[in-house]
Each structure stands twice: as C-alpha cells, then as structure tokens.
Structure 1
Amino acid sequence: MVSVIVAAPPVFGETVPLLELAASLVRRGHSVTALLGSRFAGSARAVGAHFVRLPDGADYDDRVLLGANPERLALPPGPEQYNWDLVNVFLNGMKGQHEALQRLLDEDPGAALLSNSLFCGAWPVMLGAPGRRPRKWVSVVAAAITAEDDATTVFGPIPGLTGEEAVTAHRAANAEFHAMLEPARRAAQDRLTEIGGTEPMPPFYTAVYHLPNTIAALTVPEFDFPRATPPSTLTYAGILPPHPGNESRKPDWWDELDAGRPVVVVTQGTTANGDLGQLVEPTLLALADKDVLVIATLCQDLSALGIVPPGNARVADYIPFDELLPRADLLITNGGAGGTQTALAAGVPVVMCGTTEEKPMNAARVAYHRVGIDLETATPSREQIVDAVTTILGDPSYREAVGRVRASYAAHDPIATVEALLS
C-alpha cells in the first residue's frame, strides 16, 4: 500500500480523470487524500478518499470562470484566450495549491503526488522554493501532448519536409509555440518568485513535461504524432474506461440504435456547451433529411435546445458513452480529448469541430491518422457537416484506420500503469 495525494485544479475536465484514478487506487488498497475544489467534495468521499478542500484563491467554480465570462469571451479564440485560461484558471491558484500541498506533505512526508498536469502547486519546490517534495510525483496529462520534439510540432509534422530541413522547421515552430505562451510563462515566474522560487521558470510546457518525475499521458502512441526524442518522463498509459451505464436511464428509443440506420452522435461536451447553435443544432438541421439516426447529447437540460428536433433525431441530457458509442457509426464533436478518444477506442470515426484550448491539437491528430475529418471550425455550416458525414460513412478506410488505433487502446491498462508509476 502507498499513500497518495491526488490533486487537481477545480476544473471538471481536469478533475474527473483524477477522481477515477483515485477510486481505482482505493479499491486496490491504497490510502488516498484528494486535494480538490469544494465542488468535488462529495465525489471524492464517494470513492473512498479523504477530502481536503483547496484554499480560498485556488478554489472556484469553473462553470463561472470558463462559461459566460465576459472578459474571456471578449478574447478571440487562439493565443490570447489560451494565455488567459492558463493564467486565470490554473496559475492564479499556484500559491494556495502550494501551501495546501505543503501542509499535507508535512503530515505525511512519504506520500506520493498524483496530479493533473496543470496542477502547479508542486512547481515552486521544484524551482527552488523552500518546502518538501513528494516522494514521487506522477503527473497525468489528459489533453493532447504538447511536448516539443524535432520530429513534429504540436499540430503534427510539417508536410513535405525530411531530414535536417524538417528538424529545423520543427524546432522553429516549437520555439514559436513557446513564444506564444510567453505571457503565461511570465505570470508563472511572478507567482513563483512571490512564493520563494529561485530558479527561472522554463517555457510553460517544458515545466509541465520535465518538472514531474513521470508523466502518465492518457493516450496511446498510435494517436500521437511520431516523436524522435520523447521526454524521458513520458509514459503512454492509454485511456480510462468510460463510466458504466445505468440500465434504468436508457431512453425509450434505445432499441432504434440497432434498427439498421447509421447512427450519428453529436455533442459539445460538458463545458463548451453554452451555445448549442454552434454545433448541435446545425448538425440536427443538416442531417434532418438524411437516412441516419442522430443522437444529440446535450450534457444539460433539454430546454437549452433552441430548435424542435427533426423526426430522425433523438435528444437526451446525458447518455453513458460506454453504452452509446459501441452502437454508433460516427461522432461529431467539438474535440475534447476525452470524448474523442473514447469514440476511437470504441471503433468510431470522428468529425472534429473545435478551435479553443487543446482541441485543434486533438483535431490535428485525427486528420493525421485519418481516423476522421477536421472541419477546422467550431461553427460548421450545414454543407460542411453533410459532406463530412457522407465522406466518412461512404469510405471504409476511416473505419480501418480507427481499428488500428482501437487495438492499441485495448492493449493498454491505465490503472495498472499509474499504480506502478506511483510505487
């Protein structure tokens, strides 16, 4: 048995994978303390962890911060919004995270730390600030891998280049990516200096991938870009299994999934779903006269839908993906890593429609491996949706490519991998 501190910033998408890992570690007999936002207190206790709330200043509601926040919405998708997110959602909580983590390590100096990759409370002691280091620090990357490499950029290898020409171009592109995040790096440096850090803050994602002892990336090599020199810390762990479905929650139209028509699922995920007119509604309208069954999962109340669903559409607030996706032929998504990879692990091609956070990086992987189509927009037209759906359903090569990736997901055991990394 090992003693583990599980920590994440109070963001739903960052916290849920850590709670799933915490539950598995508890079931395997380990002692788990969950350092999380107050929103997740009940969930942490339900999995058998000892809950410790992040202190004021590091505890917030991401639905407010990332939802209809006028300051954030005033920024265009891209570098400005990305830096705003890193600073306001993650870096501003560094001091509180650090202080809470130090208190827990004072109580249990032999504890290991299992954190989300954007939990920066362990950065200060790694960069010269006084305090205890965890016995071992395993950082979980739940989003696209953004480690630099001579063989690729964060958006994939540059087409048409080989040899030293490719290396030079990739290094330049990676340096440009670091420069794009310079505002976040400077903000991190300011917070580190305030806490007592004496070493310079490296480029933001250099810190993410090189400060922890080990990175457990929730993906597989077959869904990453080829790498010449991956970080020595990097381990591909595979993806966590989806939450098991609840038989009593299946809607009365469930049997229609097996009626023979192609099943197209559309979702905007759990966070970026404030405006269903971006993707869900256009998809329902675009496919209204097609011989497909469209399933829209809103991840919110059905009243949020601003149109009357067409006759070939079924709408639900939530449907367990572990039950739905194996019966689907295609997923249309705004491109979060979790939903995208869950679909691929179920053998389902994807249409990607995302432009914020790491979603373009996920979409670039989909296009590179030909496991779907990247529409390169968060607000696709009806024509774009119809063309993408028609192309994928009519071309078996997409299913064949997904099959190769699916086999890799099946071969990985993320729980056993993380448990071994913590030992």
Structure 2
Amino acid sequence: MAKIIVAALPITGELAPLLQLARGLAGRGHQITVVTGSRFRADAENAGLAFTPVTGAADFDDRLLDRDPERLKLTPGPEMLNYDWKHAFVAPIPDQYAVLQRLLEQDPDQYLISNALWLGALPTALGAPGLRPRRWVAVTAVPLALSSDDTTFFGPVPVEPGGDQKAANRAANEQFAMMMQPAQDRLTEVLNSLNVTQQFPPFVDATFTAPDVTAALTVPGFEFERGDAPDSLHLVGILPARSAPDWEPPAWWAELDGSRPVVVVTQGTPANGDLSQLVEPTLTGLADLDVTVVAALGRETDALSIPVPPNARVAEFIPFDALLPKADLYITNGGSGGTHQAIAAGVPVIVAGLTEDKPANAARVAYHGLGINLETATPTPEAVAAAAQLALKGTDMRDRVRKLAPVYAAHATLGEIERLTLD
C-alpha cells in the first residue's frame, strides 16, 4: 500500500479522469487523498476517498469560466488561450503549492499524481524551498503540447516537396512560444515570487518535463510522433468509459438494433450551455437521412430549442460504455474523453470545436484519417449532413479506426500508471 495524493484542477474535464484513477488506485489498496476545489468534496468522499480542498485562487468554479465578462470579449485564439492560462492555470499555483506543502509536512512519505495543468508541485521541482513528493506523476488527458522537431501542437507543418520538415516544425514551435509570451511572463513572475532557482523552459514544455513521469492518456496512432520525446513521457492508453450500474435503458433502446446506422451527437458536459452550436444543427441536418440520431445532451432534454425530428432520440444521459458499441458515427465538439472513447470503440469521429483542447483533437483526427474536422464550433446543418454522409460511406476511414481500436485495448491504463508511480 502506498500513500498517494491525487490532485486536479477544479475543472470537470480535468478532474474526471483523476477521480476515476483515484477510485481505481484505492480499489487496489492504496491510501488516497484527493486535492481539488471544495465543490467536489462529495464526489471524493462518496467514493470513500479522503479529501483536502484547495483555497484562494485555486478554489474556483469552472462553471463560471464561460460567463467571465472579460473572457467573453475575447475571440478563440491567442488572446483567449493566454487569458485562460493566466487565470485558470497560473494564478492558482501559490495556493496549490501551499496545500501540497502542508500535506507533505504532515507526512512526507507520499506520492503525487496530478493532472498536468495542476502546477502546485512545479515550484519545488524548479528549486523553490519545500518538500517534494516521493515521486510526481503528471497525467494529461489532453493532446500533448510538447514541442518537437517532428511536430507542433497541431501536427507537422505542411512543407513544399524537398522542404526541411524539422526546421519548419522548430520555427512553428518557436512562434507558438512567442504567442504564449504573456502567459509565460506571468508564470515566471509567480514562480519567482515563490523563490524558484531554475527558469521555466519555453512554454509549455516544463508542464510535461518537470514531473518525474508524464503519463499521457492517449496512444500512438492518435498522438503525433515525437522521436525526440523525453524518456519520462509514456503513452498509457485511456481509462475506460465509466459505467452506470443504476442506469436503465430508455424505451426506444431496442431500436438501436443495427437495422440502420446510429449517429451519436454530444457537446459533452461543460460546453453544453448552447445546444444550437452542434446538437441542433446535427438533428436538423440529419433529419432526412436514413439514420437514427442519438443526442446525449448532458443536461435536461427541454433545453432543445427545436422539435426533435422523427429519426432522432434524445436523452439527458446515456453511459458511453453502453452507447458507443451501438454507434456507427460520433459527432462531437472535440473533448478528449469522448473522442478517445469513440475511436477505442471503433467509431469514426466528426469534430466541431475551436476552444480549449478541441481543435488539437480535431487536428489529430483529421491527420490520421480517423474522421473529419469541420474546423468550426458552429457548423451549419448542411455541413454536418455532408460530413456525416461522407464518414458513413468512408470504408478507409472506418478501417483505420478499427485498426487503432486494438491499440487502445492493449493498454491496462490503471496498472501502467500505478507502476510508473511506484517504480
């Protein structure tokens, strides 16, 4: 048995895989303390896990991020990305550092597993005073932003025949670092205030290289290849879609019998405030096609502002471990969890998303031929319909997805992370 601190940002998409990991490790006999925002206390304690809340700037409510008046003035891109980094990832560092030090002072014989953007262990890793955990494992569920001569965050840069691919990638990565200079400057200020002795490397590499180990919840064949990646980086597969033992199938469930294609559409949980972005265009665009559309809303069904077409079925929640095996196509705004789970189930993906990690997931889907990138967060019904018809007829696309599915299945992700933590 090991004593493990599992720390995550109080952002639903960042916390969910860490909580799942914490439950799994506790089931293997380890003593777990969850560290995150105070509103998630019940999620941890109901799972029988010890809980320590962060305080101050680290204890924010992610449901309010999209309503921030200052953020609403920004367009997706560099300005918004720098704003998010400064407010959601950099500002919490002093309070995260403080709670981690308090826990290690109480018992220094503890390991730390954090999501990669929980940076409370970064100060001591860069020489600030204080205790360090026995081992720090960063887990990332989002695409890797680790710079490389082989790729950028969004894939290898297109070059003319005979062009220098590595030079083009280096230049693009340097441009990305320059673009993120405002966040880098703020991060440097915060780290210097905590008396670090080492400089943070060009943005954002140290979030992956400063931990003792980085476990990326992805697989080769989805992530871009990096021949120069550090030995501390491991691609460990994905955590399985959570089951819901108490869930009861709706009355129409028997209709998903394979007699015609099933198209699943969702905007996930955090980004489902405006269903007119993707769910409603999908319902409208596919209304006349010989398919069954299943819309998993992640919220109340009366949030739809349009009538439900005859070929569509709508639910507030359907567990993906039950739904995806029945699906022929998955339409999403590009969250990492659902995108990976669909491909692991052998289902091609259509992605429509421009914020957070969504365009990076879309780039990987398109680059590897696993689906279609609509390159917008608000596609028209006609664009969704055209992409859906292409994907449903695309045997090459479907074959590539089915060949990648066993790569996911080959990983025992929980066991791999446990081994990387305790080795």
TM-score category of the 2 structures, normalised to the smaller one: over 0.9
User: Which residue is equivalent to 2:230?
Assistant: 231
User: Which residue is equivalent to 1:273?
Assistant: 272
Distance 1:405 1:168 in 2: 30
User: Which residue is equivalent to 1:151?
Assistant: 150
Q: Offset of 1:27 from its aligned partner?
A: 0.6
Answer whether contact 1:209 1:231 (CA < 8 A) is retained.
Answer: no
Q: Offset of 1:164 from its aligned partner?
A: 7.3
Answer whether contact 1:371 1:402 (CA < 8 A) is retained.
Answer: yes
How many residue pairs align between the two structures? 422
Answer whether contact 2:41 2:53 (CA < 8 A) is retained.
Answer: yes
Q: Offset of 1:415 from its aligned partner?
A: 0.3
What aligned pairs does 1:238-387 form with structure 2 within 5 A after superposition? Answer: 238-246=237-245, 248-387=247-386
Judging changes above 3 Å, is the alpha-carbon distance between structure 1 residues 209 and 172 closer, same or farther for their aligned structure 2 residues? Answer: same
What aligned pairs does 1:7-406 form with structure 2 within 5 A after superposition? Answer: 7-65=7-65, 67-160=66-159, 165-246=164-245, 248-406=247-405
1:64-97, Cα deviation, whole Å (9 max, x unpaired): 12x3222212100011111111111111111110
Distance 2:248 2:96 in 1: 38
Distance 2:223 2:402 in 1: 15
Mean alpha-carbon deviation: is it higher for 207-216 or for 54-63? Answer: 54-63
Same amino acid, percent of matched pairs: 50
Q: Offset of 1:285 from its aligned partner?
A: 0.5
Distance 1:23 1:51 in 2: 13
Q: Offset of 1:251 from its aligned partner?
A: 1.1
1:261-302, Cα deviation, whole Å (9 max, x unpaired): 110111111111111111111110111111111111111111
The letter for the 2-side match of 1:385 is: V
The letter for the 1-side match of 2:329 is: L
1:145-165, Cα deviation, whole Å (9 max, x unpaired): 111111111111123457771
Q: Offset of 1:10 from its aligned partner?
A: 0.7
SS of match in other structure, 1:205: coil
TM-score by length of 2: 0.97
SS of match in other structure, 1:294: strand
Answer whether contact 1:26 1:47 (CA < 8 A) is retained.
Answer: no
The letter for the 2-side match of 1:168 is: A
SS of match in other structure, 1:85: helix
Distance 1:380 1:304 in 2: 19
Judging changes above 3 Å, is the alpha-carbon distance between structure 1 residues 260 and 371 closer, same or farther for their aligned structure 2 residues? Answer: same
SS of match in other structure, 2:22: helix
Distance 1:393 1:49 in 2: 44
1:327-382, Cα deviation, whole Å (9 max, x unpaired): 00001100011110000001100001011111111111101111100010001112
The letter for the 2-side match of 1:95 is: P
SS of match in other structure, 1:249: coil
Mean alpha-carbon deviation: is it higher for 163-172 or for 80-89? Answer: 163-172
Unaligned 5+ runs, structure 2:
none
Distance 2:50 2:381 in 1: 49
1:115-157, Cα deviation, whole Å (9 max, x unpaired): 0000011111112211011110000011001111111111111
User: Which residue is equivalent to 1:2?
Assistant: 2
The letter for the 2-side match of 1:6 is: V
Distance 2:343 2:76 in 1: 26
SS of match in other structure, 1:351: strand
Answer whether contact 2:144 2:153 (CA < 8 A) is retained.
Answer: yes
Distance 1:246 1:80 in 2: 43
